[in-house]
Structure 1
């Protein structure tokens, strides 16, 4: 199901922006600073150079094809989560599928205890950096201890000459239960709202793109409050059904991966970008093809069992048209 406003779409001047949770994209080197000890050659998952190379190749192919049905070109911006470091990003943009697209990347090491971070891939011919910052997400446990989680990656830049403000997220998980951890994701939403308020004192009518793995659905309190209080638009809201999503848990679909935009992307003014549509990139090659999990994301691992797939999440994307 493709969500499209009442507006004609053409490949001309169409630009894809995507988000993809890469399911633990670790290199094979041991890092004493993180706790993901399984993803090394001698670990339980036997994370070898061959397996790493296959995953990198798979992910490069998947990214290169996001939005391909309406646009012949790979995404101009790709937000990422679950990347370990700059080395994996360099390997990713050097894959055969992406090497000719002119990608560069942005990444900051975060305090996450698993060693997974957010990042941005951007095509330098279309996007020029102005400023970037890792926004700390200060969340405390009920005992008052600091919860070590991912920073929010903020990026200000010019997309085809138009200034945009990006927030790339991987909000705290539901590992200890959705209700028990909801306050952490509400705090993440509040952190973005507070930062936006600061931006609005310096920029007139800023254009926002908020993307990420929110570990909450569009209908969850954290996401709904972010969207309504800052007058944003979430095109993913109508896509979440019992039959479709970006990630499955116990054979139930969730749409944790979302891209939210500010309403001024719907103004259709000359020289600016206007929102055209959004979708989940859940093409057959990214899915389990048989068995009881048929149709779910084709993962790299299920537990410690190697599947050799792509990710446990589907990418999501939106497309803008540059009005000329």
Structure 2
């Protein structure tokens, strides 16, 4: 497998919001009761493991030659979930290691980065805390990872999950901007000591490619690699809301990385989709439709970018 990865000449980066990848145990101090066996969702051990293996299958399918080198994940609950995903699910033979945050988010959801130690070696990593502004709830930390790729390149990766549009787009807009500004502060720090750094920012931005919160990234010369990404079967975004495809997940890169992009797509094989009986076409095969459980994958589709380094 290692030989095929090296000979392919590609470095594969995946981003996915896992749609509430909770375990079935209560985390003290967190509002996770809806994902417990006795809750209205009846989130049992069996459903948890089915979800883990579905996410594992989804990630494995994102690369045709070997496995993805880096995977940015949103909506993962804790270290136990990540350990089960990497060491005990269908991913257990892939050899992935992971880094993640432990955020003050009220529901206890975090972000993580899976990496293949064959092709990426972390040098340093740490969470970046986002201080809430007036009216803003505590949100997910930003995960920063600096590492070396198999080609010898130093790569700076940020995994973000910006606040949702709860309360309305206009009301919540400043909350997403706070996260973007915090990432860009860190980028400024990197640029002050490293000339022309290789930067990747990935995650669920809860905003479109032309949204207000993405402006600071563009003002820092970052390019939106996945702005025009499409999938098969009529898929035109990573998320579907009331019949309309939206791209709220993004992968951004500094110019030196942008010029090494070989392909950028939304991963939409048929097993990740279901019929959209109300609006037509397809939609992501998610785990819950409202409160109704179905053994699906996620309400988001993965982004895949392949680089030539």
Q: How would you bin the TM-score normalised by the shorter chain?
A: over 0.9
Q: Given the alignment of the two structures, is residue 56 of structure 1 paired with residue 52 of structure 2, yes or no?
A: yes
| 1:86-121, Cα deviation, whole Å (9 max, x unpaired) | 111111113553222210010121000010000110
Q: 2:128 aligns with which of 135, 139, 144?
A: 135
Shift of 1:238: 2.1
Q: Given the alignment of the two structures, is residue 256 of structure 1 paired with residue 248 of structure 2, yes or no?
A: yes
Q: 2:142 aligns with which of 149, 152, 157?
A: 152
User: Is the 1:60–1:95 contact (alpha carbons within 8 Å) kept by the matching residues of 2?
Assistant: no
User: Is the 2:238–2:249 contact (alpha carbons within 8 Å) kept by the matching residues of 1?
Assistant: yes
* Aligned mates of 1:150, 1:92 — CA distance in 2: 20
SS, match of residue 215 in structure 1: coil
Shift of 1:239: 3.3
Distance 1:135 1:243, change over 3 A: same
User: Is the 1:207–1:264 contact (alpha carbons within 8 Å) kept by the matching residues of 2?
Assistant: yes
Match of 2:18? 22
* Aligned mates of 1:224, 1:53 — CA distance in 2: 39
In structure 2, runs of 5+ residues without a counterpart are: 1-5
SS, match of residue 59 in structure 1: helix
Match of 1:313? 300
Shift of 1:283: 1.4
Alignment of 1:195-214 (within 5 A): 195-214=186-205
* Aligned mates of 1:206, 1:16 — CA distance in 2: 19
Alignment of 1:1-324 (within 5 A): 12-68=8-64, 72-95=65-88, 97-142=90-135, 147-160=137-150, 161-227=152-218, 229-239=219-229, 244-266=236-258, 274-289=260-275, 291-292=277-278, 294-322=281-309
* Aligned mates of 2:235, 2:149 — CA distance in 1: 34
Count of residues in correspondence between the two structures:
300
SS, match of residue 56 in structure 1: helix
* Aligned mates of 2:195, 2:243 — CA distance in 1: 45
* Aligned mates of 2:243, 2:275 — CA distance in 1: 15
SS, match of residue 68 in structure 2: coil
The TM-score, its normalising length taken from structure 1, stands at 0.88
Shift of 1:290: 5.7
User: Is the 1:247–1:313 contact (alpha carbons within 8 Å) kept by the matching residues of 2?
Assistant: yes
RMSD of aligned alpha carbons: 1.9
Distance 1:82 1:198, change over 3 A: same
Point out 4+ residue stretches in structure 1 off by more than 4 angstroms: 240-243
| 1:15-47, Cα deviation, whole Å (9 max, x unpaired) | 210111011111111223111211011011001
* Aligned mates of 1:96, 1:114 — CA distance in 2: 24
Shift of 1:243: 5.8
Shift of 1:266: 4.6
In structure 1, runs of 5+ residues without a counterpart are: 1-9, 268-273
